[in-house]
Chains A and B, each alone.
Chain A
Amino acid sequence: MPATILLTIGLASFIWIVVGLFIMFTTLSVVVLSLTWLERKVLGRLQRRLGPTRTGPMGLMQPMADALKLILKEDIIPASSEKAIFWVAPIIVVVSAFMIWVTIPGTQNAVIQNLDLGLFYIIAFSVVGILGLVLAGWGSANKYGTLGGLRAAAQLISYEIPIIMVAISVAMLAQSLDMREIVNQQDSYIFFLVQPLGLVIFFIAGLAEVGRTPFDIYFAESEVVGGPFVEYSGAHWSVFFLAEYINTFAIAALTVILFFGGWSGPGLSGDWGIIWFLLKVYLVIMVIFWVRGTFPRLRIDQLMAFAWKVMVPLSFLSVVMTAVYQFYEWPPWSLTAMSVAGLLVVGYLIYKRMTGPSRLAAQVRIRQQELETQRRALSHASTPAGGN
């Protein structure tokens, strides 16, 4: 078997893949550590507290302490669980999370294995992770786990559709599924400028895809107590944790590559572009943390309604707009106009719902005043009963 692999791909590239995968695992682990620290710090500042300060300078050693604690903890496997499924579920989740990164480029050269069908490959692999979550929920023989697993299946598959449709419209703009080619096509203008609607859909659906607030429904700790992860502890749980952060990083990286021109930026050329890339990715991640510090969680029916009634039609609209633009070879600003018009319609609808609350506030206030005047009139008419 190894001989046949060597025959088809050659020794040099085989060694590169092995070394490259090793580098990728290491880099991603470091990135995850940095993300957990950043999330604690950013959330802390949002909530007007300090976040970790005691472990190392500015709490920088906190992720190390966390990782050490998780690995040293006892790994409990419930007696009633399906052992095989229970074991294999975290592996499926984390492997699919890692495999996405094989073809995501950091710069023109910083990529393990560039594929012509890169975008297609990423979308295909991101669905595999759902299987792991469902298996984890089912295998742990826990009702909360089962509920969480089923929620995960419903949520992730629903939000996969808008992501795919937006990816298609970007691929149509770039005339390629190759990630490097998509970035190169954004030399004259980044795709965010022509497809703002696509960015909004992609970012929201991406949040849902990685289960971030306000879409953290399948492991909502106040409802299903961690969902699929409820029975996991120690190293097994930390594997899920790792996968979650890698996926968050992947969604941020994809947002940057598809809409913000990847590693291209003024001042830096060649492989130094990775600085621009990381800068942009971390900015997107900061927005994700910001959302987490701000919003409550949706309910499952509201989540599904939002997916099928808003996100899916809008993503189809974005594909149709891109197709029309490409077919008639209109100038780029026309697509911008169409996309912004689409956004404005949505924005208007959301605005109408957003003014609901202020109307409600006014209603509440009027009602309060009415009652108070009534009460005052009554108390003037008859003296209130006193005493104990």
Chain B
Amino acid sequence: MTQVSENMLPDAEPVEMLLNMGPQHPSTHGVFRMVLWVDGEKVVDVEPHIGYLHRGSEKLCEGEQYHQIITLFDRLDYIANFNNEQVYCRAVEKLMGLEVSERSEYIRVILCELNRIASHMLFIATMGLDAGAMTPSMFCFRGRERIQAVFEAVSGARMMHNYFRIGGLKEDVPDDFVQQVRDLLILIKEDTDESDKLLSFNEIFLARLKDVAVISAEDAIDFGLTGPCLRASGVDYDVRKAAPYSVYDRFDFDVPIGLDGDCWDRYYLRVQEIYQSVRIVEQALDQLPEGEVVSSLGRRLIRPPAGEVYVRAENPRGEIGVYLISDGTDRPYRVKVRPPSFCNLSALRLMLKDCWIADAVVILGALDIVLGEVDR
């Protein structure tokens, strides 16, 4: 430890205290661990420790057949399962040159956007809890639970759905799916409005989040931030707009941009994204075509041609990338994931410069990391 403090703190004073935050701290969002050097209530430096949730997912992928890997991707970002399933399926489909039916694409987009809403609702809830407000969390968890009820009706599971298949879906959605989602959207808007009115422009909440951990656009790009954390700094970049995949180019939606790149922008951007996702789902429901959804591959073993492919997508937390190498067998040679949470986390040390201990909690909360994805 002496070596670390020599390296990191050239002018270390004996008054500084080493404060271990996590992996059992309630606001490190899982099993993240921060070692903070604090001077009174001020944070002098931070050393993040990850790996407490390391399951070796990428290595596990090499031992599984292509269909089986979908379940592993469910467990990477366990708040946004559908988005992960989609990006993996797209990678294999691109490798095999598979065409996916229109209907499956639309259902995938609907489920992914609903999952984005669920993920952002969880973020608002935890952000409120980090800042000490307990009521918004109740509203948001209620909304998220409603979304998960629809997921359960569709896939049979609240989380870890294992519903997307390479080349299509596991099965068609229930008969009343469209009506269910339409009813759900109304409730989602109500829930979001409720917590938005209570929390977003609350004066104490603003005092806690505004001008905390400001990241300039240049810094955000340098650190490889993506998703809401990047857009909060004013960079207009969303994979759904920059390189539209699936059927995203057929919808009319905005990409919210932040003003200052502080924690409040990172928070409020996600609130606005919920409304945009609602817009996308509404349009997708209107355009939803009839047709087959089950893949023509059936349950056959897949052996994609040897080659490599890189596919990216906009996850709730940022840009996820999947790099897949196939050697022509039924198992991939290598699967590499670029997880958005992990890359966003790299800016933590810059953000925690000269902040208060209470800010450290809020800053980490506004980054919205999921440890399943960081540690893989």
Contacts and interface: CB of A to CB of B under 8 A. Distances in A.
Interface of A: 43, 46-49, 143-144, 147, 151, 213-214, 216-217, 220-225, 292-302, 353-354, 356-358, 360-361, 363-364, 367-368, 371-372, 375, 384-388
B138 A368 contact: no
B128 A225 contact: no
Given A221-B26, A371-B236, A296 B131 contact: yes
Given A296-B133, A368-B256, A47 B205 contact: no
Contacts of A364: 259, 268
A220 B259 CA distance: 30
Given A296-B132, A298-B208, A372-B254, A223 B139 contact: no
Interface residues of B, number: 49
Interface stretch (B106-114, B155-163, B164-172, B194-202): B194-202
Contact of B204 (A144, A222, A225, A298): A298
Interface string B113-156: 00000000000000011111111001100100000000000000
Given A300-B41, A375-B236, 13 more contacts: A47-B138, A143-B19, A217-B358, A220-B132, A220-B358, A222-B361, A296-B132, A296-B205, A356-B206, A357-B206, A371-B254, A372-B254, A384-B244
B81 interface: no
Contacts of A225: 25-26
A208 B41 CA distance: 19
Given A299-B358, A361-B201, A388 B206 contact: no
Q: Which of A47, A223, A358, A363 has the most CB of B within 10 A?
A: A223
A222 B135 contact: no
B204 A367 contact: no
B27 interface: yes
A222 B259 contact: no
B311 interface: yes
Contacts of B132: 213-214, 216, 220, 222, 295-297
Contacts of B19: 143-144, 147
A221 B129 CA distance: 9
Contacts of B130: 222
Contact of A293 (B134, B254, B359): B134
A159 B79 CA distance: 42
B133 A223 contact: no
Interface in B15-41: 17, 19-20, 25-27, 41
B334 interface: no
A234 B359 CA distance: 31
B41 A357 contact: no
A294 B132 CA distance: 10
Contacts of B361: 222-223
Contacts of A151: 41
B41 A368 contact: no
Closest 8 CB pairs of A and B: A297-B132, A357-B201, A296-B133, A47-B138, A296-B131, A222-B27, A296-B132, A299-B358
B259 to A, nearest CB: 6
B356 A214 contact: no
B135 A302 contact: no
B135 A299 contact: no
Interface in B289-337: 311
A233 to B, nearest CB: 15
B128 A47 contact: no
A138 B203 CA distance: 33
A225 B26 CA distance: 7
B105 to A, nearest CB: 11
B94 interface: yes
Contacts of B249: 384, 386
B284 interface: no
Contact of B356 (A294, A295, A301): A301
A214 B359 CA distance: 16
Contacts of B268: 364
B221 interface: no
24 contacts: A43-B134, A214-B132, A214-B204, A222-B361, A223-B358, A292-B134, A293-B134, A296-B133, A296-B204, A297-B133, A297-B208, A299-B356, A299-B358, A299-B359, A356-B203, A357-B201, A357-B203, A368-B257, A375-B236, A384-B244, A385-B243, A386-B244, A386-B249, A387-B243
B245 interface: yes
Contacts of A143: 17, 19-20
